[in-house]
Amino acid sequence: MLYVPGSNPGMIADSMIYGADSIMFDLEDSISLKEKDTARHLVYEALKYLDFGNVELVCRVNGLDTPYGERDIEAMVAAGIHVIRLPKTETVQDVKAVEILIEQYENKYGLETGSVKMMAAVESALGIMNAHEIAHASNRLVGIAIGAEDYVTNLKTTRSASGIELIYARSQLLNAARSAGIAALDTVFSDVEDTANFENEVRLIKQLGFDGKSVINPRQIPIVHEIFTPTDEEITHAEAVIEAIKEAEEKGLGVISLRGKMIDKPIVDRAIRIIELTKASR
């Protein structure tokens, strides 16, 4: 997911060329107060008139505790955004309040109810403690994400290269997402020049089970894709598992084996996941 400041027309216009799977236009933290209305208008016009292809389009709006939040939501719904990302989500009520407004503006602009999805960004200790309830708060939620900079500040610490201070929050958020059947997205790595530690962090969050990572620079996109793309060995094994299932079904066998090892449901599920990731990466 590539972050794009809503106030930068050049970055907005070029955002679809870098190969990101998702583009998130930001109207919140990266935008100064004097640019809020301009950024909203720029993103609205881009959504209405630019062709972004098959890329998922997300907008991080301002909170409803600001003068800009509701205006952001109306403009993004009217423009046809795919997903509205809630900032600094701490409670179920935060999700419900935005959901009510989205439905209101879907009705106003003649859109099908439920067509605009939501993503909740959790950025505080309270939000992490409520992650399970937040993840289950709305059928519109397609994902839940962690915002690390605000979170570690709330914890009264800073980010380290190892990310040890984020282990609990990442695990809590990931389990909340899985329990709700939605995506879990990791936070940005802000030092674009530190490629080695960025790679380490991407490998860590993939191993934990995250579905993807937010990035702030197009140079980071290929690294995420490379790490999340299954290896040839993984693909070959997954294909063999799927083939073994088909053969067993054709022969009416109750027990499925591959190279002398029994194949159970977790192995099948992992194989299906590998095949899905492979297709997505091509």
- The pLDDT tens digits of the residues spanning 234-280 come to 999 888 888 888 877 777 766 677 776 777 788 888 898 999 988 88
Q: Is the whole-model pTM more than 0.85?
A: yes
- The answer to whether residues 25 and 137 belong to one domain is yes
CATH number at residue 164: 3.20.20.60
Residue 244: predicted pLDDT: 83
Q: Are 150 and 124 in contact (CB under 8 A)?
A: yes
Last residue of one domain, picked from the residues 228, 248, 263: 228
- The answer to whether residues 29 and 99 belong to one domain is yes
Q: What is the tens place of the pLDDT at every residue in 219-237?
A: 999 999 999 999 999 999 8
- The answer to whether residues 121 and 154 belong to one domain is yes
Residue 248: predicted pLDDT: 74
Residue 72: predicted pLDDT: 98
Residue 280: predicted pLDDT: 84
Residue 35: predicted pLDDT: 97
Average pLDDT over residues 121-143: 98
Alpha helices in 130-231 (DSSP H): 131-135, 148-154, 167-180, 195-208, 221-228
- The answer to whether residues 173 and 249 belong to one domain is no
Q: What is the tens place of the pLDDT at every residue in 157-181?
A: 999 989 999 999 999 999 999 999 9
- The answer to whether residues 56 and 195 belong to one domain is yes
Last residue of one domain, picked from the residues 228, 247, 272: 228
Q: Are 221 and 18 in contact (CB under 8 A)?
A: yes
- The answer to whether residues 14 and 118 belong to one domain is yes
- Cα 69 to the chain's mean position, in Å? 20
Q: What is the tens place of the pLDDT at every residue in 67-83?
A: 999 999 999 999 999 99
Q: What is the tens place of the pLDDT at every residue in 8-36?
A: 999 999 999 999 999 999 999 999 999 99
Average pLDDT, the chain: 94
Q: Output the CA–CA distances (angstroms, integers) from residue 220 to 51, 91, 167, 274, 278, in the order listed.
A: 23, 32, 22, 22, 20
- The answer to whether residues 198 and 267 belong to one domain is no
- The answer to whether residues 22 and 101 belong to one domain is yes
- The answer to whether residues 211 and 236 belong to one domain is no
- The answer to whether residues 263 and 244 belong to one domain is yes
Q: Which domain holds residue 77?
A: 2-228
- Residue at token pair 């503006």: 105
Q: What is the tens place of the pLDDT at every residue in 192-217?
A: 999 999 999 999 999 999 999 999 99
- The answer to whether residues 34 and 99 belong to one domain is yes
- The answer to whether residues 196 and 56 belong to one domain is yes
Residue 36: predicted pLDDT: 98
Q: Domain count of the chain?
A: 2
Whole-angstrom Cα Rg for the chain:
20
pLDDT at 101 over 80: yes
